Amino acid sequence: MPKKKSQPRSPKTTGSSLDLRPVVVALGLGSNLGEQEATLRRAVRALSRHLSAPRLSSPYSTQALCDPDQPRFLNAVLVASCTLEPEQILGLAKAIEWLAGRRGGPRYGPRPLDVDLLVYGALSIDRPDLVVPHPRLRQRKFVLCPLAEIAPELPVPPDEATAASLLEALPNDQDIDKLTWSIPPI
């Protein structure tokens, strides 16, 4: 008797069955404490164990938006395919932040690592514990520059505007410098 081919999985719950098909996700990474590049490389490697076909942007050096007296951030974006649900990605991101030394602190304060779920396919979620797409993605050049670098045509819900068009619409008032990785993370 021939084996049944397993079906691709997608994050949709129908009744009591879970159907998981790969979905494109975008994750933002940032650090402004400690060995920033090494921290981002470790985070990328840890995330990549759970993702398929990861693409990583160049690193970008940026001024903190809410408190310019903080150290500069090193930011990057990782785009990949995965079968994890949004809540699982959030849990993974928080665990990786914890391992990097992130503990409580002031909102928008300095941190060794920040991992944000920016986009999860065409899904829009608005809950107290999870908002997707990221609620400030469209205002942040430090997210849109690296996102447009590696996935310019990525549609961002709810209107499916592309990463490149969102970047083009931003005013040029945020301090950002494109860098190169000293050691490629992936």
Residues marked active site are found at 102, 111, 114, 116
Whether cis (ω within 30° of 0) applies to the bond prior to 158 is yes
Give the DSSP H/E element, type plus range, for residue 149: helix 141-150
Residues 6+ apart with CB under 8 A from 76: 28, 29, 30, 40, 44, 56, 57, 58, 59, 60, 146
Cross-strand pairs, 62: 73, 176
Q: What 3-state class would DSSP assign to 64?
A: coil
- What are the Cα distances from residue 186, in Å, to 21, 48, 67, 136? 24, 8, 31, 27
Q: How many CB atoms lie within 10 A of CB 109?
A: 13
Burial, 58: exposed, middle or buried (Cβ in 10 Å; 0-12, 13-18, 19+)? middle
C-alpha radius of gyration, the chain, whole number = 17
